[in-house]
Amino acid sequence: MFRQFFLDFTKVHDRDGLHDYLKTTFSFPDYYGRNLDALYEALSDIMEDSCISIYAEGMMEADHEFSNYLRKAITVFKDAEAENDHIAVVVIDEFGA
């Protein structure tokens, strides 16, 4: 059995909102650092088989700086996937990349 997470990045509009959303969705501990390094560490600590689907369609229309941050966040998810055999990441819309 495995856990499934569906992240809808169209629901967030800034960095703080993204990290609030991730902390709640994944039940990260209170000491979660709310940055990309902390995200990588938290994803690396997942020990239960998990499928993480990320939906980001249309986010290029969002604020340019935040769109770049979302690209970096998706890269963090993919990097963590490469290091942690317990997670699989599926990106539904990867900004056309």
- Domain spans in the chain, listed from the N-terminal domain onward: 3-91
- pLDDT at residue 40 is higher than 90: yes
Tell me the two tokens of residue 60: 């290029």
pLDDT in tens, 44-94: 999 999 999 999 887 756 567 888 999 999 999 999 999 999 999 999 865
* Residue-level pLDDT at 47: 97
32: pLDDT strictly greater than 90: yes
Residue 25: the pLDDT is 97
pLDDT tens digit sequence for 2-27 = 999 999 998 898 999 999 999 999 99
Sign of the C-alpha dihedral, residues 46, 6, 95, 64? negative
What would be the CATH architecture of the domain defined by 3-91? 2-Layer Sandwich (3.30)
